[in-house]
Each structure stands twice: as structure tokens, then as C-alpha cells.
């Protein structure tokens, strides 16, 4: 087995030692010795030592009540520090003889390959400049770390970079080590878990902080590299206003099942975004005004500033004053409705124009080198983020719109909308959408729920178009779901077009997506209201929870194929919005491979996807890491557009259909049909405790009930904590073994070699199985599960073993991830710290269930820290 790079191992060792010094300073050498015994016992146990396992169990069992939390915190911090070192290792400085990482080479290599394959320079430049990729940041209860701690982690990464300079003196190296020691001590002495749930506004501020501290720097940097790569291959440049990747957000707009997201919250978040954008531009323009002291300017700049001795400063100071006015107005408007003064910037053109004037003038006057510095970076940010920072999506469940219309039609004496069939609903909605008179009388007094729906629609109508993204309808299933939102928006004063997006989530809805969109596009007047692409959201989380990942993945693929064909027939551009999570069980996995595995024609220069939970921090929390991930998105969407994957062979489709059917039956037989499953799930995992913990602003359940009532996130998260990872693989073991038993092994191998969709699914399955651990799951059963339910746990662990064997049979390997020894080694290193946390969590769950613990109790605090540590240690399955 290949070992982790020596430099990474050295960084992990150094950070661990410094943490140990901090723990010793606070709690003494005896406590640190106890931590070390636990770590060594876990490592020996992993290597098969019975003595090591006994040492680990004995030491954990002997912990006093007041030691539970500090032990959990110690291993949590070890895992976070290992993450920091690993993240930094991805972006560290390379020596002259070291190759650049794939994430840096991916776009230049792709452009060269596309040029060699016959794509002209003009086509490459035009397509790259026109890409429309939108990453939608969402808040979910898997990001448990506090913002203040995340900032300390970022500072630790910066110090790792500082010490990587080979020419440091002994004194300078000592200073870096002192700063690292201080930062680690600050992190250790900072409570890592929030005591109360964040509000939706808190979550939005967290998202803004990622932009402020990372993406604001990463965006101009990745665009600069993309421009250089394009020029090297084609001799052409990206347009000045090119923004192939933009950002949207659900934080403060996603009200699906979250009563804490109200119209007032949405308005507040929109104003905070304007304030933050203005504040960031004020800082940049201040700096530019200080630097651009040149005297020479072209006639366009002179026409605006006259005879000024420092024309660029004069022009930028005008812009700065307007930005300050915008910032002041946004802050004041938070307290109540306040008309915007004339100085407030209202359109992105007003922001871009003075910056572009300066840029062109500097070039015309022979100062292109100056123009291409921080001024160009500011222009790139302005093109990407605009005046509104991110476009805010609105999301609401289809049933809420139907209930509002039911109340309205009943009040008007028109009957009960809820009781009408689809044809009656469509007829009514089309009639009212084309009617010039209002539907709602002034004296209508709606119920609280309907009033909130209408208030949200009024906020949408009142806000500038560019500040908002799409209106997403959860659990959509029919054309009337889309028309209902359009009518409610019209009644609340919306006089422009807004993308209203059906989200198809369950297996049945995915199968019906094509016919529903076909009917919608054929309705009279609908195309006139569309005014742009037809956006459709594909749900990964709920379809996987509903049917298992085998059947869900194939349903998602087929739905996309059908939608591509239907929109082609209607001559309407299609924009697919992928509702992926960070975990494999929710459609997650490496973005580059996932994009390249989409059906041909489904990525045609456009791509929209969610970035969820803790994955936002892991992928975009540091500028250099963010830049690498933006490069991956850019390259993958360009390649999928110009060189789409092959159309699957009929035999592949038939076999995939059999795999999906077998996987669906096997998954449902356990999750929906086994009479003990729900009770086993609640005893064996921390599902119920996760619902109590202050992890996010949204409730863990949509409603009371069994598995179907759970949100996809706690459903996945609970299984991840016990390392069974059940939602990500259940069903595949039966599907693959049945195919192998039918003698279809050669065809499976052929599909894996030549069909990116199938290869990516198997790769993600292999990765999650490598992180799954039946032995750890068994320990939870032994401590937490009633005796009569344990046979079910044993059966599930046997199915896990079958899934592993099936993947090994398909890949021809003797060990999962044998082709990626560094990943295996990384998992192994983390297990040394994860194993004690799992054992400790099982004990904490048992203690918590024996007594009614408050959130502030040591047991509950230690439990929450264990949740955070396990999530950190497992990364993209956490």
C-alpha cells in the first residue's frame, strides 16, 4: 500500500503534537496519556490486535463523566486538523520537478485536446465565454461547526502555507510554529458547537462569509487562469464581462417544511446580500483609487471627470460614493420599508461601466499591465457577483400553493380547488392567468398559512429581477403545480417573467417528469410567459430515499433523456437543475465525473446544481481549494457540451433496467416492508438525537410518521454516523449479484468500461463501501439495540458484505479502492481517530437514552461533538 505523501504526514503529525501540547497544558499529562492510550488501542485494534481492542474498550469505559466531553473534543479536533492538512496538501507549492495537480491541469489539457480533435479556436473561445454554470449554496444540518472556528481553521491552513517556503530562517520558522500553537490553542479553547439552532438569517450570513473570505478571491483567480489557458491554445481571450460560473443561494429562501423562513426573513436576507456586496466593492474600489494615480486618460473618461489631474481616482471616487450610499440604504432598509435614494446603484451596468471605462482607457494609453491587475480582478467579481452577491431562489412545497388556492376559490364561491382534477385546475389557472382583473378582492382575509404564501409572492414581486433566481416547487407532479405559482405571483403584482421550476423528487414523479413538461409546454400562453429556458429540477435525495440509489440513479438518467427530447421537440431550451447532496446517498460524489456522466445533450452549455451543507466549506472554504473546484466545474461542463458521452447501447439500457428493478425490490423489502426496520433504525442510529440537536434552522421531519416522513439529510446522516452507510448501497448487492448469477458479468464490465454513467455509479459505490464498516455498526447494535431487533442488524451487515463482494467481483480487485492507495491510506489514518469517537458515541447515546438530558448537559454536548467529529472524519459521506 502506498503511503500518504511524507509532507502531508509530517503536517498531520505536527498539528497533532501541537494539539497534544495544548491539551496537556490545560488538563495535565495524565489526561493526555489517556488520549494516547485510546488512540494506540484503536490503531492496534484496526490491525487485528485483541489486546488493542481490549485496551481501547477498557480506557473508554473508565472515563469519568467530566472526561466525556474533552475526550470527544480531542478526537474531533484531531480529525479537523487532519482535514486542514489534507486540504492544504492539495494546494501546496509544487517543486519544479513535481507535476501540477489534476485540478490545475484539467482545463488547459482539455482545451488542447478539443483543439486537436478539430474544434476551432473561435468555437472554443465562444463556448467557454458563454458557459452558464450556477452553483446554488444551500444550508443544511450537516455543517455543525461554528463560523468562528472555521475561520481559525482557515488561519491554520495559512500558516501551513507560510512554513512551506524553503528559504525561511530558523527564527521565521519558529514564529510560524508559535502562530500555529496559538491558533490551535484558540480552537481548543473555543466551544466548537453552537448552543442554539441557527436562524435562517444566520445560515445566510454563513454563506456570505464563504464568499467574502474565499470566493471573492478565488473567482478572479480562476478566471485569470482560464483566460491564460484559452489564450495559450487559441490566441483568443475571454470577454471582459465573462462570468461562466455564478452563484445562487437557498439560504433564506428555502421555506419547504421550514416555518422559520418567512417573507420577512427573505426580504432581510436580500438586503443583507446587497449590503455585503456593496461593502466588498467599497473595499476594492478604495484600493483601486489608491493605486490608479495615473494622469493619462482617454476622452471617454475625461468626458466624465473633466480636467482632473488624477482622472481614474476621480471616476472611482464617484463610484465609491454611490457604493457607500447603497450600503447605507441597505442597512437602513432592514428596519423598515425605505425608498432608495437616487445615489443607490440599481443595476449591474451602473457598477460595471465606470470600471470598464478605466480598464479601456488604461489600455488605450499604453498601461495595459496596470489595467490587467487588481482592476481586472474587480471587474471579474462585478461580472460574477453583481450588486446582489447571489441570486436568491425561493422554494416551497406544491401542497402549500394548492392549499392557498383552495382557500381562495372557496372564499370566492368557485368550489374547492383541492377537489378538482388536473384538467379542471389547468382550465381555471389558464383562465385566470390571462384575465386582466384581479382574482383576490381587497377584503379577503386569508389564514396565516395562505397569508405567508402571498407575502412571499409580494416580496418576489417587489425585488429587482436580478436579485432572484428561480421559484422551485418541491414535490411537483403536474403542470398545474407550475401554473399555480405563476398565478399567485401575478396576483401579488409580479409584472415580469420568473423561472418557475418543478422539482421532481420521488420515483413516480421522475417517471412522470417528461409527460408533465410535455403537457406544460403545449399549454396556450405558457410559452409566452416562459421568456427563457425551461428549468426543471431533478431531485436526488428524496428519490434515493424513496427507491434506493440503484433505481433512483436510473430514473434520474431516463428523466433527463426524456426531458432533453421533449424540449427539443418543442424547440425550447432546457436547463436542468441537479438537486445533489454532498453524500453518495443523496447524489453526491466528485462533481467532475458526475457532470461527464450525464446523458448526452443534457449539459448544453448550461448547468445548475446545489452545493450543500458541510461540502460548501470543504470545496469552497479556502480560496485555492475553491479555485480548483471552480476549474473542475468549468472543464467538465465545457467537455460535456462539446464532447458529450455516448448514447448507451440498447443492451446496456436493458441490463440497467433489470439492475434498477432488482435494486428497487431489494431496497423496499428492507426499508418499507420489514416490520422491524423503523424501530431498528431509531435504536441503532442517532436519528432521534439528531432531531434534538441544534444543527440547522430546519426541522428534521416534514411531518410525523416513519421513514417516509424523514428529510433525506438526517436519514443519510444517521446511517453515516454508525458507518453502515445503508442508503448509499442498499439494493446494489442484490442487483449486481443477480446480474452476475444470470451470467451478465461480461456485459457489466463492458458497461463500466464504456458508459460514464455506469462507471461513475460503481466508482461512487466503491468509495462509500470502503468507508462503511460493519464491525463499527455491530458495536452500536450491541450497545443500543434490543435483542429481538439484532438479527435485522446482522442481516444488514451481511448485505453490506455482499455489496462489497459484488463490487470486487465487478472491478477484479482484491480490495476496495486498491487502485487508489493514497485514499485507502487516508481512510486508515482517520480510522485511528474515528474508532474511539464511534465507541464513545454509542456509549453517549446509551447514557442519553437512560435519562432526560438537556442540550446543555455534558452528555448531550459530548454527543454533538462526536457527531461533528465523525462527519469531519468521513467528509463526503458525512
- Catalytic residues, which ones? 140, 545
Listed in sequence order, the DSSP H helices in 235-298 are: 263-291
Q: Is 146 left (phi over 0), alpha (psi -120 to 50) or beta?
A: beta
Give 867's contacts (C-beta < 8 A, 6+ positions apart): 144, 686, 690, 693, 695, 721, 841
Are the C-beta atoms of residues 595 and 636 closer than 8 Å to each other? yes
* Contact (Cβ atoms closer than 8 angstroms) between residue 247 and residue 208: no
Q: What would the grid cell of residue 549 be?
A: 440509489
Euclidean distance between CA atoms 37 and 60, whole angstroms:
10
Point out which residues pair with 578 in neighbouring strands: 538, 609
What is the DSSP-derived secondary structure letter of residue 198? P
Per the CB < 8 A criterion, the answer to whether 236 and 230 are in contact is yes
Between CA 308 and CA 358 the distance in angstroms is: 14
- 635 grid coordinates: 472543464
CA pair distance 225, 79, nearest whole angstrom: 33
Please name every residue paired with 473 in a beta bridge, in sequence order, or none if there are none: 396, 502
Phi, psi of 698 (to 5 degrees): -100, 140
The two beta strands, 245-249 and 606-612, are unpaired
Contacts of 76 (CB under 8 A, 6+ apart): 192, 837, 865, 866, 868, 869, 872
Phi-psi region of 531 (alpha: psi -120 to 50; beta: other; left: phi over 0): left
Query: Collapsing DSSP states into helix, strand and coil, what is residue 710?
Result: strand
CA dihedral 502, 506, 511, 513 (to 10 degrees): 0
Rounded CA gap, 270 and 293, in Å?
A: 35
Calpha distance 818→831 (Å, rounded): 17
- Enclosing H/E stretch for 391: strand 391-397
DSSP assignment of 534-551 equals EEEEEESHHHHHHH-HHH
- Note the Cα 865 to chain centre separation in Å: 22
The secondary structure of residue 647, as a DSSP letter, is: P
C-alpha cell at 698: 430546519
- Report the chain's terminal Cα–Cα distance, integer Å: 25
Which of 536, 532, 538, 523 has the alpha carbon at shortest distance from 487? 523
Provide the greatest CA pair distance for the chain.
89
CB 782 within 8 A of CB 712: no
* Residues in Cβ contact with 326 at an 8 Å cutoff, skipping those fewer than 6 apart: 274, 278, 343, 344, 345, 387
Cα–Cα dist 770/179, whole Å: 36
Residues 6+ positions from 504 with CB-CB distance below 8 Å: 476, 477, 510, 512, 513, 516, 536, 537, 538, 539, 559
494: left (phi over 0), alpha (psi -120 to 50) or beta: beta
Residue found under cell 438525537:
689
- Under 8 Å between Cβ of 218 and 106: no
Q: Give me the sign of the Cα torsion angle 587, 592, 593, 597.
A: positive
Q: Over the Cα atoms of the chain, what is R_g?
A: 28
SS3 content of the chain, % helix, strand, coil (to 5): 65, 5, 25
What span, in angstroms and rounded, lies between the C-alpha atoms of 345 and 88? Answer: 39
Amino acid at each position: 500500500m502506498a503511503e500518504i505523501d511524507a509532507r502531508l504526514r509530517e503536517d498531520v503529525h505536527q498539528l497533532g503534537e501541537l494539539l497534544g501540547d495544548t491539551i496537556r497544558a490545560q488538563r495535565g499529562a495524565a489526561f493526555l496519556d489517556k488520549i494516547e492510550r485510546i488512540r494506540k488501542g484503536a490503531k492496534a485494534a484496526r490491525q487485528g490486535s485483541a489486546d488493542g481492542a481490549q485496551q481501547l474498550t477498557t480506557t473508554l469505559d473508565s472515563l469519568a463523566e467530566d472526561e466525556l466531553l474533552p475526550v470527544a473534543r480531542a478526537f474531533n479536533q484531531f480529525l479537523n486538523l487532519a482535514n486542514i492538512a489534507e486540504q492544504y496538501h492539495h494546494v501546496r507549492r509544487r517543486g519544479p520537478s513535481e507535476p501540477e495537480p489534476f485540478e490545475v491541469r484539467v482545463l488547459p489539457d482539455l482545451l488542447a485536446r478539443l483543439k486537436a480533435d478539430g474544434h476551432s479556436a473561435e468555437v472554443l473561445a465562444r463556448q467557454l465565454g458563454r458557459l452558464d454554470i450556477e452553483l446554488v449554496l444551500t444550508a443544511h444540518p450537516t455543517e455543525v461547526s461554528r463560523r468562528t472556528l472555521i475561520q481559525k481553521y482557515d488561519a491554520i491552513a495559512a500558516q501551513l502555507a507560510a512554513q512551506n517556503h524553503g528559504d525561511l530562517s530558523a527564527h521565521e520558522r519558529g514564529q510560524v510554529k508559535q502562530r500555529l500553537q496559538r491558533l490551535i490553542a484558540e480552537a481548543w479553547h473555543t466551544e466548537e458547537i453552537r448552543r442554539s439552532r441557527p436562524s435562517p438569517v444566520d445560515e445566510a450570513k454563513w454563506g456570505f462569509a464563504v464568499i467574502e473570505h474565499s470566493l471573492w478571491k478565488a473567482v478572479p483567480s480562476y478566471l485569470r487562469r482560464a483566460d491564460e489557458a484559452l489564450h495559450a491554445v487559441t490566441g483568443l481571450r475571454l470577454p471582459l464581462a465573462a462570468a461562466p460560473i455564478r452563484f445562487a443561494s437557498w439560504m433564506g429562501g428555502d421555506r419547504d417544511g421550514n416555518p422559520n423562513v418567512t417573507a420577512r426573513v427573505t426580504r432581510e436576507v436580500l438586503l443583507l446580500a446587497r449590503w455585503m456586496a456593496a461593502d466588498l466593492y467599497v473595499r476594492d474600489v478604495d484600493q483601486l483609487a489608491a493605486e490608479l494615480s495615473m494622469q493619462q486618460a482617454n476622452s471617454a473618461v475625461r468626458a466624465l471627470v473633466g480636467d482632473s489631474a488624477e482622472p481614474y481616482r476621480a471616476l472611482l471616487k464617484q463610484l465609491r460614493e454611490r457604493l457607500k450610499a447603497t450600503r447605507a440604504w441597505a442597512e437602513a432598509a432592514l428596519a423598515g420599508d425605505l425608498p432608495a435614494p437616487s445615489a443607490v446603484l440599481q443595476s449591474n451596468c451602473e457598477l460595471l461601466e465606470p470600471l470598464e471605462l478605466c480598464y479601456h482607457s488604461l489600455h488605450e494609453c499604453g498601461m495595459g499591465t496596470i489595467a490587467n491587475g487588481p482592476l481586472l480582478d474587480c471587474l471579474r467579481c462585478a461580472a460574477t457577483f453583481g450588486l446582489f452577491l447571489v441570486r436568491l431562489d425561493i422554494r416551497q412545497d406544491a401542497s402549500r400553493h394548492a392549499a392557498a388556492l383552495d382557500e381562495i376559490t372557496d372564499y370566492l364561491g368557485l368550489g374547492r380547488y383541492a377537489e378538482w382534477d388536473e384538467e379542471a385546475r389547468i382550465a381555471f389557472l389558464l383562465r385566470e392567468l390571462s384575465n386582466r382583473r384581479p382574482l383576490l378582492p381587497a377584503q379577503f382575509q386569508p389564514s396565516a398559512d395562505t397569508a405567508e404564501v402571498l407575502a412571499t409572492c409580494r416580496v418576489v414581486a417587489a425585488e429587482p429581477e436580478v436579485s432572484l433566481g428561480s421559484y422551485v416547487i418541491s414535490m411537483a407532479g403536474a403542470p398545474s403545480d407550475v401554473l399555480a405559482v405563476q398565478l399567485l405571483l401575478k396576483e401579488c403584482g409580479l409584472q415580469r417573467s420568473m423561472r418557475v421550476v418543478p422539482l421532481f423528487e420521488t420515483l413516480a414523479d421522475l417517471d412522470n417528469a417528461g409527460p408533465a413538461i410535455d403537457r406544460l409546454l403545449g399549454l396556450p400562453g405558457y410559452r409566452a410567459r416562459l421568456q427563457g429556458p425551461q428549468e426543471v429540477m431533478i431531485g436526488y435525495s428524496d428519490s434515493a430515499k424513496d427507491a434506493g440509489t440503484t433505481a433512483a440513479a436510473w430514473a434520474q438518467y431516463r428523466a433527463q433523456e426524456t426531458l432533453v427530447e421533449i424540449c427539443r421537440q418543442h424547440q425550447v431550451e432546457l436547463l436542468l437543475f441537479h438537486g445533489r447532496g454532498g453524500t453518495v446517498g443523496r447524489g453526491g460524489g466528485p462533481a467532475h465525473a458526475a457532470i461527464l456522466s450525464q446523458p448526452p445533450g443534457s449539459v448544453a452549455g448550461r448547468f445548475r446544481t446545489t452545493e450543500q451543507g458541510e461540502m460548501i466549506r470543504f470545496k469552497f472554504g479556502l480560496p485555492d481549494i475553491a479555485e480548483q473546484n471552480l476549474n473542475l466545474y468549468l472543464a467538465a461542463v465545457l467537455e460535456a457540451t462539446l464532447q458529450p458521452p455516448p448514447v448507451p447501447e440498447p443492451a446496456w439500457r436493458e441490463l440497467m433496467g433489470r439492475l434498477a428493478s432488482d435494486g428497487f425490490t431489494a431496497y423496499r423489502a428492507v426499508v418499507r416492508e420489514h416490520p422491524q426496520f423503523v424501530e431498528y433504525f431509531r435504536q441503532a442510529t442517532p436519528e432521534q438525537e439528531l432531531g434534538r440537536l441544534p444543527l440547522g434552522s430546519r426541522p428534521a421531519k416534514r411531518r410525523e410518521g416513519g421513514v417516509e416522513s424523514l428529510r433525506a439529510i438526517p436519514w443519510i446522516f444517521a446511517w453515516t454516523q454508525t458507518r453502515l452507510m445503508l442508503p448509499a448501497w442498499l439494493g446494489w448487492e442484490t442487483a449486481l449479484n443477480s446480474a452476475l448469477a444470470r451470467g451478465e458479468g461480461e456485459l457489466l464490465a463492458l458497461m463500466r468500461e464504456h458508459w460514464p454513467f455506469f462507471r461513475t455509479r460503481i466508482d461512487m459505490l466503491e468509495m462509500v463501501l470502503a468507508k462503511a464498516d460493519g464491525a463499527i455498526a455491530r458495536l452500536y447494535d450491541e450497545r443500543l439495540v434490543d435483542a429481538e431487533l439484532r438479527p435485522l442488524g446482522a442481516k444488514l451487515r451481511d448485505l453490506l458484505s455482499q455489496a462489497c463482494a459484488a463490487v470486487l467481483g465487478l472491478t477484479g480487485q482484491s480490495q476496495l479502492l486498491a487502485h487508489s492507495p493514497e485514499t485507502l491510506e487516508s481512510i486508515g489514518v482517520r480510522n485511528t481517530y474515528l474508532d474511539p469517537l464511534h465507541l464513545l458515541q454509542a456509549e453517549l447515546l446509551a447514557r442519553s437514552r437512560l435519562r432526560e438530558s438537556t442540550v446543555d448537559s455534558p452528555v448531550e454536548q459530548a454527543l454533538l461533538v462526536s457527531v461533528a467529529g465523525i462527519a469531519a472524519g468521513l467528509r463526503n459521506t458525512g
